[in-house]
A and B are shown apart, each in its own frame.
Chain A
Amino acid sequence: MPFIPHTDEDIAAMLDTIGVDSIDALFDEIPAELRAQGLDGIPAGLSEMEVTQLLQARARSDGEPTCFIGAGAYDHHIPAAVWQITTRGEFYSAYTPYQAEASQGTLQVLYEFQSMMTALTGLDVSNASLYDGASALAEAVLMAVRSNRKVKHPRVLMPRTVHPFYRRTVASIVQHQGIELVEVDYDKRSGRTQIAHCEAVADQPFAALVVPQPNVFGVLEDVDALTDWAQARDALVIGVVNPVALALLSPPGDWGQAGADIACGEGQPLGMPLASGGPYLGFLCCKQAFIRQLPGRIAGKTEDLDGKVGYTLTLQAREQHIRRSKATSNICTNQGLLVTAATIHMAILGAEGLERVAAACHANTARLAQQLCEVPGVEPIFDAPAFHERALRLPAPTETVLAGLAEQDILGGFDLGHEYPELGSALLVCATEKRTDAEIAAYREALTSALVVAKAA
């Protein structure tokens, strides 16, 4: 009986104490006709050894391709210490720190995480995580609409340069809140959202403008101008940012004259493996003025009976377990273990380490793009500066080219054509600090041959 410690003597003694004859008798309040007969389709249990063999085979079968995909999830180096400490049972198997005195480890980690995120984003406060970057943006949109006291129209400007999966997630989550998401187009030459594109859809008041930095194409938006433009119209500004990029790029708190009001994004680049898309963590930071509209858990510093410093969950009147139907969000469980990993990761890397990672990603991607564009017919799509991703136009259908690359165990990038048909055969590539010169050269070779095959097809 896996994981059940009871001996026959235990069972007999326990049933005797309860005063029943069998375990089955404990289910006597369940109507007999409801009792399940069998569990079709569930195989018999396996030993740990057998499960290990099965899972090893499955993991191996997916190969070890070289990854040049970014598009919201990035293949960074993770110090060995990060997950060795994170998976200590005391972190791994603890619950939400409701009993603060028995959870000081987790609570202090949350407080340190919040401190680090405010340092990176330049904003006053941070929550203790949401599910992922996309759902964090949905919560940011809801929060902005609640927070904006000057503009009561639940309208939010959403540039097309925001990751399409993020836009879809936001649309799903807020669909019954009466919020109008207005698309903002982008400049086809630079890949940037320009003020003119915003003006074109701003004929009515709007509560917030979303500003991605870098945007989905890797391109750097003119965040200062966009922030000033939106705030001059009484709208709030929501930055969607990459935390590693923030080691080099202007933090949302510094954007424009007054700084962005809210910043959110995906914490995966801070020590989380790609892992097929999760678990990652969403972060959400804001100016002090909006803290009571900030959803999710927040750890705060306090004192115990002796005046000793300690940490506890605070402002819980925002949350569902207290406020129920009037809560800021329905979120309960967040991504605590990933917060632990991200905190240890940031502590080990430090600001200078993250800067070096960011610079290496930027330089590697620039080199990758340059080399791929030496292949005949391949060219950059946009001319504006980019961070660590580049959109390239291919002389053959992207899907076919990617399949050809995959056959050579290279994951060549993210197909932009599906979401941005106006770009033609478009591919988004990324080379993190982990990609070597040899791997970049191999990609170029593989692309050359894949294009030959694709054009012949």
Chain B
Amino acid sequence: MLIQEHSRPGRRATAQAPLTTADHSTLPQALRRKQRAALPEVSEMQAVRHYTRLSQQNFSIDTHFYPLGSCTMKYNPRACNSLASLPGFLARHPAAPESHSQGIMACLHELQDMLKSVTGMHAVSLAPAAGAQGELAGVMMIRAYHDARGDHDRREMLVPDAAHGTNPASAIMAGFKVREVPTGRNGDVDIDALRAVVGPQTAGIMLTNPSTVGVFDRNIQAIAKTVHEAGGLLYYDGANLNAILGKVRPGDMGFDVIHMNLHKTFSTPHGGGGPGAGPVGVSKRLEPYLPIPLVEKDDDEGYHWLDEDDRPESIGRLTAFGGNMGILLRAYIYARLLGAEGMRRVSEFATLNANYLQARLRAAGFQLAYPERRASHEFIITLKKEAKDFGVNTMDVAKRLLDYGYHAPTTYFPLLVPECLLIEPTETEPKEALDGFVEAMIKIRAEAEQEPETVRQAPHSLPVRRLDDVRAARQLDVAWKPAEGLAESNI
């Protein structure tokens, strides 16, 4: 039932708005609303009960193992939320003067510094609001760099075929043409294919390392050399930074620009689809183009903002007020809780968990997509054989996992591995959770063999059974509307 369907005319949460309607007679009649908007009319308790019940229809990290590959669903420490929600932080207006902002600016400046250190980059801007915006900022800086040198013909961005969809979409938004580079059979970028396509038209390459197929590209130095010698720059998609945190730095691998997904590696909440935060880091030659605002520290006068006037070559402003500050604060708090040693352990235990899970699934007879490779923080199995033998596909297995109390891994991505599951356990899961997942996978395969309909029709234990996506798109209904003549009343 929708909240709108709980609505009864005249019902209200009276304590939450002014007791009377103030005089607004100076607002011209012609510019006023004639009919009241059809918003719900419910009591406060009804709203609380309704949304509490809805929350209970979600899988989440706090309630379930959530091995969603490429998404780094690790525990979100509660302290990060409660401390970022201190009244002093929540009440601060984005246009508050620096005199009343030194506390938060100190946090932001230290976060900039810590991100520089852990990525090996020269400078960092916290401005991008999410990973995709960080990508856009990154490729725009590459374009600004070439343009500033009069190198206007570099209009081609190289993107491996295994890349996240955001990579080509961001490159297009920055005005580039996208050229795909194939992945070799062993999971590394096909270096010969790369050498064949670089040239004076190459603006750069967008790479994830470890890549989306879950392996560290061993040829990274050769890739960097090839692209740099052709005059292009290297862009690092930080989606998989959790795999190498404190172990290898993108700056040392030769990357010129990177973005980080703080909602992955720095454990800020995913929130049912955001908010994220996508800071960008750059080598020295790209620093002038960083998106604003930035926080600078002046030994005498404390912290101050750098904006358009201070950075005339900046690619500019990406949101009205400089990004998702509350998320940046959560990431800062997480980084302080971890410290240098804790960051290193993140990648160590994320990698340990992934390789353990991979070893156990392999021993149980599941087929690895890259059996000769070490897993990074994630790995891929392919259910090609199960699909052929039992007529049960990856989506069926994913849905059946929900019945066993496990959120499904990422399905059908990357696109180049058929019937695949991309599995990322993260470092915060105990061994028992991984063992339980393996047992569930074994049981589901047995079901697929003995009673395939059980798997094909899954899930069976959730608030709804398998949903009809085709119907959703064909008989489009994306907003509730009040019945004619009902619910809308004159103001």
Contact = CB atoms under 8 A, between A and B. Distances in A.
A374 to B, nearest CB: 18
Contacts of B232: none
A304 B469 CA distance: 9
B44 interface: yes
A330 B135 contact: yes
A302 interface: yes
Contact of B27 (A5, A125, A249, A310): A249
A195 interface: no
Nearest to B133: A131
Given A18-B355, A34-B221, A330-B166, 12 more contacts: A3-B75, A29-B215, A55-B84, A56-B86, A85-B51, A120-B39, A126-B478, A131-B133, A175-B140, A248-B491, A302-B469, A330-B135
Contacts of A319: 165
A95 B66 contact: yes
A173 B430 contact: no
Interface string B450-491: 000000010100111111110111011111111000000001
Contact of B13 (A89, A304, A350, A360): A350
A346 B7 CA distance: 12
A411 B271 contact: no
Interface string A231-264: 0000000000000001111110010000000000
Interface string A354-370: 11111110111010000
A56 B93 CA distance: 18
Contacts of A340: 51, 271-272
Please give me the 6 A-B residue pairs with the lowest Cβ-Cβ distance, nearest first.
A277-B321, A89-B62, A45-B339, A337-B271, A176-B175, A59-B88
Interface residues of A, number: 203
Contact of A246 (B22, B37, B166, B359): B37
Contacts of B472: 300-302, 312, 314
Nearest to B325: A276
B467 A312 contact: yes
Given A17-B360, A73-B95, A277-B322, A108 B466 contact: no
Interface stretch (A19-27, A152-160, A439-447): A19-27
A39 B344 contact: yes
Nearest to B339: A45
Given A2-B342, A323-B165, A276 B92 contact: yes
A347 interface: yes
Given A3-B75, A91-B271, A414 B113 contact: no
Given A34-B252, A115-B2, A175-B316, A94 B478 contact: no
A97 B71 CA distance: 12
A402 interface: yes
A378 interface: no
30 contacts: A2-B338, A3-B427, A4-B428, A18-B359, A36-B120, A62-B100, A62-B103, A73-B93, A73-B95, A73-B321, A87-B81, A90-B56, A93-B73, A96-B273, A99-B402, A99-B408, A102-B59, A120-B39, A125-B479, A165-B320, A175-B315, A274-B92, A274-B94, A300-B473, A303-B471, A333-B132, A336-B275, A337-B269, A351-B39, A362-B27
B216 A29 contact: yes
Contacts of B51: 85, 109, 340, 343-344, 347
B140 A176 contact: yes
Given A85-B55, A304-B465, A351 B37 contact: yes
Given A41-B113, A331-B132, A301 B477 contact: yes
A451 interface: no
Given A58-B107, A95-B270, A276-B326, A42 B248 contact: no
Contacts of A311: 467
Interface in A79-113: 79, 81, 83, 85, 87-106, 108-109, 111-112
A298 B466 CA distance: 19
Interface in B85-110: 85-97, 99-104, 106-107
B308 interface: yes
Contact of B173 (A85, A176, A280): A176
B60 A89 contact: yes
Nearest to B26: A385
B13 to A, nearest CB: 5
A195 B267 CA distance: 50
Interface stretch (B190-198, B280-288, B346-354, B383-391): B346-354
A102 B56 CA distance: 10
A90 B263 CA distance: 16
Interface string B192-217: 00000000000000000000000110
A188 interface: no
A44 B341 contact: yes
A275 B60 contact: no
Interface string A308-352: 101110110001111111110111111111111001101111111
A51 interface: yes
Given A41-B116, A321-B165, A333-B132, A104 B33 contact: no
A297 B273 contact: yes
